[in-house]
Amino acid sequence: MTKDENSGKRPTLKDVALAAGVSVATASYALNDVGSVGGDTRRHVLEVAARLGYRPNLSAKAMRTGKTSAIGLILPDLTNPFFPALAQNVVHAARESAYSVFVTDTQGSPEAERAAAQALIQRGVDGLIWFPINDEDTLAELTGGLPVLVLDRDNPRHDLIQIDVDSGGRMAAERLIRAGHRRIGVISGPTDVRSSRQRSESSAEVLRRHDALAWHLHNAYSFDLEPAVAAAVADGSATALCVGADLIALGAINTLRQRGLRVPEDISIIGFDNIPYGALAFPGLSTINIPVEEMGIEAVNTLLRRIAKPTESRRRLVFDVTYVERGTVAPPPAP
Amino acid sequence: MTKDENSGKRPTLKDVALAAGVSVATASYALNDVGSVGGDTRRHVLEVAARLGYRPNLSAKAMRTGKTSAIGLILPDLTNPFFPALAQNVVHAARESAYSVFVTDTQGSPEAERAAAQALIQRGVDGLIWFPINDEDTLAELTGGLPVLVLDRDNPRHDLIQIDVDSGGRMAAERLIRAGHRRIGVISGPTDVRSSRQRSESSAEVLRRHDALAWHLHNAYSFDLEPAVAAAVADGSATALCVGADLIALGAINTLRQRGLRVPEDISIIGFDNIPYGALAFPGLSTINIPVEEMGIEAVNTLLRRIAKPTESRRRLVFDVTYVERGTVAPPPAP
DNA sequence: CCTTAAAAATGAAACGTTTAATTAAAACAA
DNA sequence: TTGTTTTAATTAAACGTTTCATTTTTAAGG
């Protein structure tokens, strides 16, 4: 009573052992439920630990075991509306397993990506969830044997969680065809990333097959359309748009509105990503949904499995996308 | 050469010391630039460390010093569009000072808030940046002497970073008055949080003074308007709306559109928060901007200062807001 | 050249755990 | 009873740092 909870400091394992009248080793075994400890002793130790409010010092544990039960999440840009939901689910899923998450944002620069990874590795994270900014294997020399899960990219060395973008691109194109459109423009997002390119390429392919591809341009990942794109969008050459990213699609809607065109009466639009903005627009943006929430959860599951079994064979998980109909698709206007 | 970089494992301080032909102590002093080490020796140690690619083991360092150079960021909800920018800037500012950030999201539950804090404290974070979900001091018994910075709330025990919401509420009301409106409705966000309540109350107060307050309702923080609010908004009783949160404001615009009313021709709207969605809407949402980026940066600065000087007197920083004009304010329609 | 002070370098303890190796105690078989 | 096995508990080393107390070396002063 007077000796136990004194000293103001957080109680250490030694304090627990002392108070319980056992050795530090026994206390450790009891608390971790390993080794051979008598039933009575175990209960007693647990009880004392609870009474003292003992919390193991994770730094010490980490140093001894080499495991921090922390993981790192490396994202290109937190303010990109696609990522917060992903991060949220990663954090939650990790918490379920008593892992904490260092979140890092690399602002689109490979150097920042490397710096972030370095810092995390030095901190001793048990694994990394990495959404690379491009197709390069930027972290190749850094990671050593560290478990890494790569999102939405290809990588020969790591577990992968990907999206069936082809099917998404096709769905969008087919939906517009089915609505009766025959002059459809395609706007792709960044072309330096394969998964992004493919979205639009598979759209374009479908459209070509139906002889319905009006044009295929591309635009940076941004709400603002580049002049050439803005022009094409509004010059009447297409009655519908298949856009590789919601943010660009919203930008397109904006441009059209500014030029007095109506969506979807004059021109139909389908986006890709299902970012939260889309549901808030008026009319709501029809788009291809990516199950980010599940991806986040599955990312930590897969990573934790890899941490537990480093030698298991590499995994590659592909998530299906779905078309979500809102208000931006209609039949083409009568000529 | 053959002895140094062998063993596959990351080199430890001992390896560096050995390779440099000095004691571990000297190596430590040299690398940390403390103690008395001869110039030549210091340079030599540094050089060897670099050659071996030595990185201090932060877990060990943490255990020895009790400092992890990690901080925790506790937010209510990452998918709330207000927070990603904050988180991003916290992460960046922290990185500048070689700190890493555990990000956590409490989903609006005080228990989750406590659990998150517990976990972080157990991890030994050097401090916490905390955006509480309500006005309660949920973490009161947990934090002990740990440096904590509280955002957008009041708290008697911690450093504070707040927003001059009163002035924001007034600005919005005055702008609408200035545009000529005389029947203005106020929609406040959650009323259980003082900083949120005040936004709308100071709007209402200004309007009352001008005898221009049509009504004052409130709505959950959500895009969907509650029936009573939706009705009031569209029944012609107000020619302008002063809304305590952008998300609700966008919901209001949506409701109005669905009922065939135009913004701003029929009804003007001003929001609060300046969430990124607002700029993307058509027309862009006029709103009160909160400098989240600066707040994030200042939060880590203040927290780090507190970590360095735990006894310094408590700080309270109040950020100014600004009105940002976009497209949702116009004179009232002629009757 | 000797003494003393200052500077540089070192040895070893400590931080809070885990865990291998060891000993002590209890249970069992003969 | 006695030896043997099983079970329970302990001792002590180790993880990679920092840092105090000490020793060794160098420089300074006479």
pLDDT per position as a tens digit, B112-142: 999 999 999 999 999 999 999 999 999 999 9
Residues of B in contact with A282 (CB under 8 A): 253-254, 257-258
Token pair in block for residue B179? 């545009």
Instruction: Provide the 10 A C-beta neighbour count for residue A174.
Output: 15
Looking at chain B from residue 57 to 96, which residues have their Cβ under 8 Å from any Cβ of chain A?
A: 57-60, 62-63, 68, 70, 77-79, 81, 83-85, 87-88, 91-92, 95
Q: Are B316 and B159 in contact (CB under 8 A)?
A: yes
Is residue A71 over pLDDT 70?
yes
Question: What average pLDDT does the structure give for chain A?
Answer: 95
Is strand C in 7 Å reach of the CB of A33? no
CB contact under 8 A, B55 and A101: no
| CATH superfamily of the domain spanning B165-290 | Response regulator (3.40.50.2300)
> What distance, in Å, lies between the first and last C-alpha atoms of chain B?
89
Phi, psi (deg, nearest 5) at residue A300: -70, -35
What is the CA A115 to C1' C16 distance in angstroms? 30
Q: Does A119 touch chain B (CB under 8 A)?
A: yes
With cut-offs at 50, 70 and 90, classify the pLDDT of residue B8: low
Provide the 3-class DSSP secondary structure of residue B250: helix
Is residue A4 over pLDDT 60?
no
* pLDDT recorded at residue B301: 98
Is strand D in 7 Å reach of the CB of A144? no
CATH for A68-163+292-320 (3.40.50.261, 3.40.50.300, 3.40.50.2300, 3.40.1350.10): 3.40.50.2300
Closest residue (CA) to C1' of nucleotide D26 is: B38
Instruction: Provide the 10 A C-beta neighbour count for residue A122.
Output: 16
* pLDDT recorded at residue A8: 65
pLDDT per position as a tens digit, A227-251: 999 999 999 999 999 999 999 999 9
Same fold, B13-56 and B68-163+292-320: no
Token pair in block for residue B245? 């949160």
With cut-offs at 50, 70 and 90, classify the pLDDT of residue B1: very low
With cut-offs at 50, 70 and 90, classify the pLDDT of residue B3: very low
Which nucleotide does the CA of A12 lie closest to, via C1'?
Answer: C16
Residues of A in contact with B128 (CB under 8 A): none
CB contact under 8 A, B70 and A257: no
Determine the topology of domain B13-56 in CATH. 434 Repressor (Amino-terminal Domain) (1.10.260)
Q: Count of H helices and E strands in chain A?
A: 12, 12
Is strand D in 7 Å reach of the CB of B62? no
pLDDT per position as a tens digit, A176-231: 999 999 999 999 999 999 999 999 999 999 999 999 999 999 999 999 999 999 99
**Can you give the residue ranges of every domain in chain B?**
13-56, 68-163+292-320, 165-290
Is strand C in 7 Å reach of the CB of A61? yes
Alpha helices (H) in chain B, listed in sequence order: 13-20, 24-32, 39-52, 58-65, 83-96, 110-123, 165-178, 194-209, 227-234, 246-258, 276-280, 292-308
Closest residue (CA) to C1' of nucleotide C9 is: B26
User: Is the bond preceding A332 in cis, omega lying within 30 degrees of 0?
Assistant: no
Token pair in block for residue A28? 């450790």
Q: Count of H helices and E strands in chain B?
A: 12, 12
